[in-house]
Amino acid sequence: MLKKPFYYTIDDKVKEIEKLKSSEVKEEKDKPLSSKKMLSIVGGNIRSIRKSQRTTISRLAEMAKISEKYLQGVEVGKRNISITNLYKIAKTLKVSLDVFFIENKDNANERILFIESRLKDYTKEQLVYIETLIEDIKSIVDKSFVVDDEVETKKRLIVGDTLKKNNKDIL
């Protein structure tokens, strides 16, 4: 019986490992969050929103009529929170309940929540005007990135041509 060449064995092992990794990733996506992780997400979001509104724990606790120590425990993910208390906090911070359950993998959510909290006090007409401004700003920013990319590409071409020329001069 002939043995498989060495590289086939490694290739088979690599494929096997990749298959295992992909199944682990799939399981991770399907896996529900642990209660500890959920408490951490909710508490972290409460803290982020509170800080973005420049409110202290004691002020938020006082306004929501809950204990300061309890709120501190919730923010660090050590204490469980009832829907009633979560609703009190959401009402006090002027946000919807669902924002507390968003898993924050980057600070973009924090900025969005801050902006959302700032927009709550505007009238419908003012919000339409703000939306128009945002669209205008977005188009300006998008165009500037395109221009920057074009400039970068031109710079790279110039540098590349210069390097080629210098290399020919050396040879």
pLDDT band at 145 (very low <50, low <70, confident <90, very high): low
Predicted pLDDT at 46: 92
Q: pLDDT digit string (tens) for 41-63?
A: 899 889 988 988 889 999 999 99
pLDDT band at 99 (very low <50, low <70, confident <90, very high): confident
DSSP letter string, 24-43: HHHHHHHSPPPHHHHHHHHH
pLDDT band at 11 (very low <50, low <70, confident <90, very high): low
Largest pairwise CA distance in the chain: 82
Spatial distance between the Cα atoms of 75 and 66, rounded to a whole number of angstroms: 13
The answer to whether 68 and 61 have CB atoms below 8 angstroms apart is yes
The CATH number of the domain covering residues in 35-119: 1.10.260.40
Of 31, 51, 48, 53, nearest to 105 by C-alpha is 48
58 vs 138, residue with greater confidence: 58
